[in-house]
A and B are shown apart, each in its own frame.
Chain A
Amino acid sequence: MTELALSIRGLEKTYDNGVKALRGIDLDVAAGDFFALLGPNGAGKSTTIGIVTSLVRPTAGSVRVFGHDLATQREAALSCVGVVPQEINFNQFEKPIDIVANQGGFYGLPRKLARERAEKYLKLLSLWDKAEVAARTLSGGMKRRLMIARAMVHEPRLLILDEPTAGVDIEIRRSMWQFVQGINAAGTTVILTTHYLEEAESLCRNIAIIDKGVIVEHTAMKTLLAKLDRESFILDLTAPIEACPDIGIVHLKRIDATTLEADVPKGTTLNELFDALARTGIRVRSLRNKANRLEELFLSLVERGNGGAR
């Protein structure tokens, strides 16, 4: 039987102001997985992570981390978890080396080992040259990487990243993902929430989508992407067109004189689309996805939940 890094059953949370953030969710994350937890703002992602990291108290339900019940074996469960929160939450007046080493101390690491680990992870995240400056002087990307180093100091079996790349430039994002993929390959289970769905699609093997406190999808990424019944492409044309042609097999929409949007159903190949366009005298210079595949599915699932139609 596959070992579970995280097992959630019937989790509910109603805040003091009456807001029902979670309405009885079940969620399993296998050990070693790279798992995406996605959902629109206010869906319940951060509440779920808050409960797993003990910052939020559940109203009902249970959470087990590597078999340890969070309610009855809190310390054993939390020892397995490292978390990178959405908001900056370290002492801005402390030095990165102290922030990371102190976190090791909170997990019971002896001071010497904690400082060695702090050095290791600050170096791995390219922050070692900033180890002795006040943390408030770091750039936004550096602060994010510092929180990853802090979360890794006790070498957790489960790393939770709550929108770690928000506001981070593309180069730093790539280096962060390289690091996280490396630790996942070495055996650490990773749970990721992000608004960059292309990141989730390329990094994660399994996915859950949460909306209005309910899990609306919980499956393998490949299985989910296979459900996509159509993909939208933006086509840049070599010459302007006066009107939108009707080619039958694909619905087209004219964006401007040299741009078309093509809604390609599953089963129709791009060769068929290009052939049909060529027959009407239209040649395509380049094409790109209107949105990435996961984004399309995500929107369709969430809109279905809202009673909308695509």
Chain B
Amino acid sequence: MNAAGNIEALKTIVHREVHRILRIWGQTLVPPAITMTLYFVIFGNLIGARIGEMHGIRYIDFIVPGLIMMSVIQNSYGNIVSSFFGSKFQRFVEEMLVSPTPNWVILTGYVLGAVARGLMVGAIVLVVGMFFTRIQLHHPLVTLATLLLTSVMFAFAGFINAMYAKKFDDIAIVPTFILTPLTYLGGVFYSVSLLPPFWEKVSQMNPILYMVSAFRYGLLGISDVPLGTAFAVMIGFTVALGAFSMRLLVQGRGLRA
């Protein structure tokens, strides 16, 4: 297929993904808005008012970047893992596999769909956050680059999960037992500089810390880790997960007998 054909195939996959997100908006867009409103009310307003400031910033303002990141991570991952596994489970993934659509177009299409949901949910959480906070954008480019890199990285991670998954339980295990703990321990609700030195070192092995810190730098101008290190980690993980996703797709693991 020529370049124009590949673009049409890519547009078709992205269109189908976005259409799906909007068709089931009650499952995809509303729950994060409700959950984050509760976080802002309980952790920000009620408990945060007693905590005071973190790095000289109101606690409720401090947690906004982490909450947006948390939503972006969970929704980018959740979108691709459920959508791609669903297409495997119902076998309509075969519609693409029997067509001349190249593997890289399939992967890019699903990743863009996941990024679209990550950004939609991120925007919703930001709007919700603006009702409770006074945040300003300190570094728009850093904010946008972090948002996109994080979303792409977790889209790849979700894709890998979907490729290996054989039943619906398999797509719930990683988010429950790995993603959620890493997110909560990635400095969403606190600065890792508050931890004892040993646990601060342990936290630095958590990639989500770098995303939350870079995003917090973009929004608030403060970070727990050097910005260069944060971007190196994000780019490194994104490239590695992307390459592994592509390899699985080319091998046809679980897709082609």
Contacts and interface: CB of A to CB of B under 8 A. Distances in A.
B1 interface: yes
B91 A54 contact: no
Contacts of B92: 89-91
B47 interface: no
Contact of A55 (B15, B94, B101): B94
Interface residues of A, number: 34
Contacts of B166: none
Interface in A72-128: 74-76, 78-79, 81, 83, 85, 87, 89-93, 98, 102-111, 114
A89 B98 CA distance: 12
Interface in B79-111: 87, 90-92, 94-102
A48 to B, nearest CB: 12
B257 A105 contact: no
Contacts of B87: 91
Contact of A111 (B4, B8, B98): B8
B138 interface: no
Nearest to B23: A93
A74 B97 CA distance: 11
B28 to A, nearest CB: 14
Given A50-B257, A54-B98, A105 B90 contact: no
Q: Main SS of the interface on chain B?
A: helix
A257 interface: no
Contacts of A57: 252, 256-257
Contacts of A92: 90
Contacts of A78: 98-100
Contacts of A109: 8
Given A76-B100, A91-B87, A92-B90, A102 B1 contact: no
Interface residues of B, number: 30
A102 B12 CA distance: 6
Nearest to A56: B257
Nearest to B99: A106
B6 interface: yes
B11 interface: yes
B5 interface: yes
A90 B256 contact: no
A143 B257 CA distance: 25
Contacts of B94: 55, 85, 89
Contact of B100 (A50, A56, A79): A79
B5 A107 contact: yes
A196 interface: no
A83 B100 CA distance: 13
Contact of A108 (B6, B13, B96): B6
Given A15-B257, A56-B256, A79-B1, A91 B99 contact: no
A90 B95 CA distance: 7
Given A54-B256, A106-B9, A106-B100, 13 more contacts: A54-B98, A75-B1, A75-B102, A79-B100, A90-B90, A93-B23, A104-B12, A105-B8, A105-B11, A105-B13, A106-B12, A106-B96, A150-B95
Interface of B: 1-2, 4-6, 8-9, 11-13, 15-16, 19, 23, 87, 90-92, 94-102, 252, 256-257
20 contacts: A54-B97, A55-B256, A57-B252, A75-B100, A75-B102, A79-B100, A89-B90, A89-B91, A89-B95, A91-B90, A98-B19, A102-B12, A103-B95, A105-B11, A105-B15, A106-B12, A108-B4, A109-B8, A111-B8, A111-B15
